[in-house]
Amino acid sequence: MFFVKIRFMENFIKALKQNGFKGEADDSLETKEFYSHDASLFEIIPSAVVFPREAHDVEILVQLVRDNKNQNPELSLTARSAGTDMAGGAINDSIIVDFNRHFRDIKSITADDAIAEPGVFYRDFEKSTFQKQAIMPTFPASRDLATIGGMVANNSGGEKSLEYGKTKDFVKRLSVVLSDGLIHELKPLTKAELDQKMSQDDFEGQLYSKLFRLCEDNYDLIKSARPQVSKNSMGYTLWEVWDRESQIFDITKLIVGSEGTLGFVTEINFRLVPHKAHSGLLVLFLRDIDELGDIIPKVLDYKPATFESFDDQTLILSIKFMTSFYKMLGLKKFVKLLFSLIPDGFQLLRGIPKLILMVEFNANSEDEVRQKVKNLHHDLKQYKAKYEINGFEEDATEGKSEKFWIMRRQSFQLLRSKVKDKHTAPFIDDLIVRPEYLTEFLPKLRKIIDKYKLFATIAGHMGDGNFHIIPLMKLEDQKEREKLLPAMQEVNDLVLHYHGSLSGEHNDGLVRGPWLKNQFGPEVLNLFKEVKQIFDPDNIFNPHKKADADWDYSYSHIRDHF
């Protein structure tokens, strides 16, 4: 069987070229090994990796897979760009489609919108938007590594989602190759435009008709299924597709966050917002979290741009591996970072804080930022949280606050690269509950982590109640692996008890897809399965994710070597 699969793949690659595929294909062992894992705890060896050069290549690829499905039912396609996915969404055992090698064209940028291909790194995209004094603000913490295609696939959010929302809120139009092997332009439609689409006697017409019928027939159930938190990346976002009141039907809401399970995006049209040139940070060191219930609403009343946090373990880790920042920052910035931390050293002599809170304000003038910071500082004086300069940071430039952003944004990379005897295991890494529950929720979460003897950092978006918990584990040890399921079940039960979502930003993938039934119930899960069947009846796109996920399959592909 092994050699049969190899011969089939060799013939498939030849057929690609014969059909006019202009990109490259690679089934070497070295390449397959490289693409067998992303930033998750899973590993799956693909059969081949292809690198489409243009949108027509993607059409050829999908058509050829569709035509060969009867001969090889396991044949499938999984999109990948930067490979930073923490849920295992970018790996599979069939064909990996790399969009990062060629799909890197920024086609146009104005002050209001941008058109670009999915393989563009966000860092490059942001540099281009800054030239127009604009920004697409839903970048994740991995902003220097992630691509905009991955942000669309995961419906990414990050430190600015408190003010701006998530990626779905900035997508105006998508070009997508669907399972008929053709490119389709997807955008919000009026009811009249939808009726015209549904009248078409083709795959697209049937797709719109079936999807509208599903949304209309199950309208109340779908609307009630929406998680009652500020952001969510679990399941398919059906509740935002059809709105009876506005009479708008927006199919992009399904594609964004679908992890490439419904089709492949080849071009993205983003809405942009003005980039506010000045920012200032207020930093609070908390000895305990009992006062969070009072502090959080006070902070949110001031409508900050960001409200971030990280715990004592993250702080200790950052200090322990401080020299690792040398490679990240270069000598000049590294020396500046060291000297900027000296005041914090005196602060830490009084004891390591349990939680560091970071409240950022943005504005178009430095004076406006300073005033916002001072006003909040004054309102929080009753609390004993302090910062080294007059109690709080009041500098309206980003320089003095850089050390805190480095600790917050780089903690996961430090864990992955510097702790040699254990490995990052992101399996409870993206939960979200409403902020008013945090004083009860966080101690209970820490109790579960301690129960299973997990060393874990906790960092996240305090304003949303969205936290990233990254345990360090020896997953090659069977006793450690056996902790995954019971620990996950306890954490998931706790999140759902507080009406939260198991994923605020990082999506389902292999790690959370099996828990969609717990999150939404069997009726809504069946609707998700119908969505997949409508878009992808031959299961061409990224199997074993979303409504097709199964824990036994996922568990069998946890890495056993690092």
Q: Would you tell me the crossing angle of helices 438-451 and 484-497 to the nearest 10 degrees?
A: 170
Same domain, 119 and 200: yes
The C-alpha atoms of residue 132 and residue 476 are separated, in whole angstroms, by: 49
CATH number assigned to the domain comprising residue 142: 3.30.465.10
Same domain, 259 and 155: yes
Torsion, Cα of 515, 516, 519, 521 (10° steps): -120
Structural domains of the chain, count: 3
Same domain, 243 and 376: no
Question: Per-residue pLDDT tens for 221-280?
Answer: 999 999 999 999 999 999 999 999 999 999 999 999 999 999 999 999 999 999 998 888
Torsion, Cα of 70, 73, 75, 78 (10° steps): 120
pLDDT for the residue numbered 382: 74
In a domain, 558, yes or no: no
Same domain, 137 and 209: yes
What is the chain's length? Answer: 562
In a domain, 282, yes or no: yes
CATH number assigned to the domain comprising residue 320: 3.30.70.2190
Structure tokens of 203? 């795959």
Structure tokens of 186? 């997807």
- The answer to whether 254 touches 531, Cβ cutoff 8 Å, is yes
**Among 363, 379, 413, residue at a domain's last position:** 413
Asked whether residue 344 carries a pLDDT value surpassing 70, the answer given is: no
CB-based burial label for 185 (10 Å; 0-12, 13-18, 19+):
exposed
In a domain, 237, yes or no: yes
Place of tokens 């292809």: 50
In a domain, 474, yes or no: yes
CATH number assigned to the domain comprising residue 502: 3.30.70.2740
Arithmetic mean of pLDDT, 354-365: 86
The C-alpha atoms of residue 468 and residue 172 are separated, in whole angstroms, by: 29
In a domain, 81, yes or no: no
Closest residue by Cα to residue 403 from 391, 417, 413, 393: 393
- For the ranges 136-140, 194-198, 246-250, the lowest mean pLDDT is seen at 136-140
CB-based burial label for 345 (10 Å; 0-12, 13-18, 19+):
exposed
Same domain, 408 and 456: no
The C-alpha atoms of residue 445 and residue 439 are separated, in whole angstroms, by: 11
Same domain, 316 and 267: no
pLDDT for the residue numbered 197: 98
pLDDT for the residue numbered 394: 41
Question: Per-residue pLDDT tens for 286-318?
Answer: 877 788 888 999 999 999 999 988 888 777 776
Closest residue by Cα to residue 95 from 8, 168, 17, 159: 8
Asked whether residue 77 carries a pLDDT value surpassing 50, the answer given is: yes
- For the ranges 23-27, 203-207, 282-286, 320-324, the lowest mean pLDDT is seen at 320-324
**Among 413, 436, 468, residue at a domain's last position:** 413
The C-alpha atoms of residue 495 and residue 474 are separated, in whole angstroms, by: 25
Same domain, 295 and 343: yes
Asked whether residue 431 carries a pLDDT value surpassing 90, the answer given is: yes
- Mention every residue, 6+ apart, whose C-beta is less than 8 A from residue 12: 48, 64, 68, 75
Same domain, 119 and 259: yes
Same domain, 140 and 268: yes
pTM over 0.85: yes
In a domain, 234, yes or no: yes
Same domain, 299 and 264: no
In a domain, 528, yes or no: no
Closest residue by Cα to residue 100 from 90, 87, 115, 111: 90
Instruction: Pick the more confident residue, 331 or 77.
Output: 77
The C-alpha atoms of residue 16 and residue 398 are separated, in whole angstroms, by: 50
Which residue range(s) make up the domain with 486?
Answer: 419-506
Same domain, 408 and 433: no
Place of tokens 């009406």: 499
**Among 240, 259, 274, residue at a domain's last position:** 274
In a domain, 538, yes or no: no
Question: Per-residue pLDDT tens for 498-510?
Answer: 999 999 999 999 9
Residue 517 CB: number of other CB atoms within 10 A?
Answer: 14
- The answer to whether 108 touches 115, Cβ cutoff 8 Å, is yes
Percent of the residues in the chain that have a pLDDT greater than 90, as a whole number? 67
Asked whether residue 14 carries a pLDDT value surpassing 90, the answer given is: yes
From residue 196, give the alpha-carbon distance in Å to each of 206, 252, 368: 12, 18, 50
What is 453-514 written as a DSSP string? T-EEEEEEETTTTEEEEEEEE-TTSHHHHTTHHHHHHHHHHHHHHTT-BS-SSS--HHHHGG
Structure tokens of 237? 């976002």
Q: What is the pairing mode between strands 113-116 and 106-109?
A: antiparallel
Structure tokens of 457? 């950092």
- The answer to whether 240 touches 91, Cβ cutoff 8 Å, is no
The C-alpha atoms of residue 89 and residue 545 are separated, in whole angstroms, by: 7
Same domain, 218 and 159: yes
- For the ranges 149-153, 346-350, 419-423, 555-559, the lowest mean pLDDT is seen at 346-350
Asked whether residue 107 carries a pLDDT value surpassing 50, the answer given is: yes
pLDDT for the residue numbered 206: 98
For the chain, how are helix, strand and coil distributed in percent, rounded to 5?
45, 20, 40
The C-alpha atoms of residue 97 and residue 117 are separated, in whole angstroms, by: 14
Closest residue by Cα to residue 143 from 154, 155, 128, 156: 156
- For the ranges 24-33, 98-107, 306-315, the lowest mean pLDDT is seen at 306-315
